[in-house]
Structure 1
């Protein structure tokens, strides 16, 4: 199923739209076409500050528009520079709850010229929703997104 989305992602990235619109379109596509992706959003480093700022997303509104480095799953990825798959968010001490319905989360860093400039964050209302296939797919998306940043 995820492989079928490679072509639409490439179409979005190569479209004439501005970058923010492309990112929003990617978020909407993922939320609509991948059943276990209930919230999809990009976070980016907020200038030179040690914090992330919410970018385009698809899903329920969130209060978490600024996340300090090290806080929550997203903040931890900003520090570790590694994918973080959380099968059960309730088992994480450093988890920031966005919704009582979220059961699992995956965050994949977005690199530009070797620097972690942001991340793709996905919440699922299904426990243990994410596999290695999701990781590889989201890495592919971030590699394509990096080309337009």
Structure 2
């Protein structure tokens, strides 16, 4: 990954969470950091996998859907398939769940704790086609580095 913006963001994220073992506190700060530093987002946050649904975790933005069934919407599909999903136009995504009607594009990255699916990072934008391949690679790098740190210091 070569994008300096994401390398700096990852470095800031690690510095922010490296001495805190609480996963919720760390992901709350991470969502705030992303929201502060990345333009053209209207929602950024985390959902945790519990039983067979995603449950709302720390976020920045308008109130959101609290529970998303695995396999439904962009987030539910990403966790069900263990794949990152970059959606140019959420209104064209079959089964999209419209928590905020202003969202036009979305990037969802599954994350893992102790080698098991734990949830997703969800990024929404009011701009159609907002997320590029560079954004996907940058946020994926950020999440993988965060996972390493959380796995090494948390009681997860």
Structure 1 residues 78-100: Cα deviation after superposition (integer angstroms, max 9, x where no partner): 11100101100111121000112
Give the 3 Å change call, closer, same or farther, for CA 13–107 of structure 1 in structure 2: same
Deviations 1:40-65 (A, max 9, x none): 1111111xx11111111111111x11
Structure 1's unaligned 5+ residue stretches are: none
Q: Which moved more, 1:3-12 or 1:93-102?
A: 3-12
Q: Does the 8 Å CA contact 1:107/1:122 hold for their aligned counterparts?
A: yes
Unpaired stretches in structure 2, ≥5 consecutive residues: 151-155
Indicate the residue corresponding to 1:101 in structure 2. Answer: 102
Match of 2:91 in 1: 90
Is the contact between residue 104 and residue 125 of structure 1 (CA under 8 Å) also seen in structure 2?
Answer: yes
Which residue of the partner structure matches residue 142 of structure 1?
143
Q: Which has the higher contact order (CA 8 A, sep 6+)?
A: 2
> What root-mean-square deviation, in Å, do the aligned CA atoms of Structure 1 and Structure 2 show?
1.5
State TM-score, norm by structure 1. Answer: 0.90
The runs of at least 4 aligned residues of structure 1 exceeding 6 Å deviation read none
- TM-score w.r.t. the length of structure 2 is 0.86
Match of 1:34 in 2: 38
1:105 offset after TM fit, Å? 0.3
1:20 aligns with 2:10: no
Q: Judging by fraction of residues, say which structure has more helix.
A: 2
Distance 2:100 2:85 in 1: 19
User: How big is the shift at 1:106?
Assistant: 0.6
